[in-house]
């Protein structure tokens, strides 16, 4: 298999696993700390108004951020495990962080979510890859 194909497949696989993690944690957050009755989550305008008014429970928002960070870490680890190349981890970090920032830009989110999402996801993704990149110290 060519290096480019392996890189692309590993990137897509890591993104799919990351999105599954985010979906699972967001579904769990919705069960544990439901959005107050009367807010139609399928209506972007209603959800935007609820976020601006602070009606979305803090634990729910915190779990969403935690899901992004966990997904970034696992995705970074898998990207490297499947290719053995740091470039794949960097590619994953850039794409996943882009998706998180896009998500943040769609609706108003608290500043702490912007900081955690935009700065945390690339760091966690690279940290997951670094864990696999650990090199033994040279012997003396």
Domain boundaries, the chain: 3-133
Query: What is the pLDDT at residue 54?
Result: 80
- Collect contacts of 98-105 with beta carbons under 8 A, ≥24 apart: 100/68, 100/72
Mean pLDDT over 49-59 rounds to: 83
Residue 53 C-beta-side C-alpha neighbours within 13 Å = 10
- pLDDT tens track for 86-123: 899 999 999 999 999 999 998 888 899 999 999 999 99
Mean pLDDT over 16-35 rounds to: 92
Tell me the whole-structure pTM to 2 decimals.
0.85
Is the separation of the CB atoms in 89 and 76 below 8 Å?
A: yes
């Amino acid at each position: 298999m060519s290096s480019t194909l392996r890189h692309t497949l590993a990137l897509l696989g890591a993104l799919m696993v990351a999105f599954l993690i985010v979906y699972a944690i967001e579904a769990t957050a919705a069960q544990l700390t439901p959005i107050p009755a009367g807010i139609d989550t399928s209506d972007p305008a209603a959800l935007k108004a609820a976020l601006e008014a602070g009606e979305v429970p803090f634990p729910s928002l915190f779990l969403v951020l935690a899901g992004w960070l966990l997904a970034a870490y696992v995705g970074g680890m898998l990207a490297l495990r499947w290719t053995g190349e740091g470039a794949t981890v960097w590619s994953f970090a850039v794409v996943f962080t882009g998706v998180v920032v896009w998500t943040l830009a769609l609706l108003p989110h608290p500043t702490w979510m912007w900081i955690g999402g935009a700065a945390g996801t690339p760091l966690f993704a690279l940290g997951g890859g670094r864990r696999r990149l650990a090199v033994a110290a040279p012997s003396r």
